Amino acid sequence: MNYVLRDWQEAMSGWRFWLRFGILDINLKYRRTYLGPFWITLSFGLTAAGLAFVYSTLFNVNDDVYIAYLVTGLAVWMFVSGSIVEGTSSLMRHSALIRESNLPILSHAIRTVVGGAIVFLHNLVILIGVMIYARIEPTLETLYIIPGLLLVFMNAIWMTLFFGLICARYRDLPPFVSTITNLMFLVTPVFWYRDMLEGRALLADVNPFYHLIELVRAPVLGAAADPTTYIYVCIGTVVGWLMTYYVAVRFQVRLAFWI
């Protein structure tokens, strides 16, 4: 077993570190506030309400289910895109700890994802309220949200580590990655339906963000995601981790000199 695989194994066995420090990062961000982390829920709720009003008016959609569609898509998008953008600076942000300790590098990436996951779970409170408002009753297909969330988290981890390593090596990449991520937001069916593209639906079908969102959004709306989505995401997960492994083998040993 080479040092990268050993690093990953130690990171998974040392779950107390990234879980506790991920929670600590959120607590420190909202310390000395009355609502604490629930400001996340309030902020997301107000944002979702404003966007739902605007886009339902633009698209002339009066269906209450559309609100659940929009809120779910926005919550997953914010988590996935946040993992990428935060990932670009995650290792540099923890540079002192990386230089002064033998903690696995993957632990720092998972710590970042844990913080994003806490925000995401806070946002789910709003989503549950929207489901009640839209009168969406849970079905057996709703249980598909469990494997969907697991796949989303697995992809968020490799994205955070991958971009953390390459951005530590190439310092011009973080703003470029942020710009591309913002651009992807415009071409991802978060506020609008895939069918609105009509003959250009291929733009959504090849969009990995769309499939990651559908893993969670479809079960929330009472249906399982299309089998193609699961196949697409599973293949993307394997490819993503293989790319991350390749980058880690090349870059990780010299990481301390770059940060």
Is residue 33 predicted with pLDDT exceeding 80?
no
* Residue 3 belongs to some domain of the structure: no
* Residue 230 belongs to some domain of the structure: yes
For residues 244 and 250, what is the distance between their CA atoms, to the nearest angstrom? 10
* Residue 251 belongs to some domain of the structure: yes
Query: pLDDT-based confidence at 255, cuts 50/70/90?
Result: confident
For residues 144 and 140, what is the distance between their CA atoms, to the nearest angstrom? 8
Is residue 246 predicted with pLDDT exceeding 80?
yes
**CA angle 60-63-66, nearest 5°?**
90
Report CA torsion sign: 144, 163, 208, 64: positive
Amino acid at 6: R
Among 1-5, 99-103, 196-200, the range of highest mean pLDDT: 99-103
Find the domain containing 173 and state its range: 10-258
* Residue 1 belongs to some domain of the structure: no
* Residue 5 belongs to some domain of the structure: no
For residues 206 and 108, what is the distance between their CA atoms, to the nearest angstrom? 30
What is the tally of structural domains in the chain?
A: 1
pLDDT tens digits, 128-173: 888 888 788 888 888 899 999 999 999 999 999 999 999 988 888 8
> Is residue 89 exposed (0-12), middle (13-18) or buried (19+ Cβ within 10 Å)?
middle
- The percentage of the chain sitting over the pLDDT mark of 90, rounded to a whole number, equals 28
* Residue 109 belongs to some domain of the structure: yes
pLDDT tens digits, 71-129: 889 999 999 999 999 889 888 888 888 888 888 889 989 999 998 898 888 888 888 88
* Residue 134 belongs to some domain of the structure: yes
When the pLDDT of each residue in the chain is averaged and rounded to a whole number, the result is: 85
Cα dist. 28→36, 37, 91, 106 in Å? Answer: 9, 10, 19, 22
- The percentage of the chain sitting over the pLDDT mark of 70, rounded to a whole number, equals 97
* Residue 28 belongs to some domain of the structure: yes
Q: Between 117 and 62, name the one with better pLDDT.
A: 117
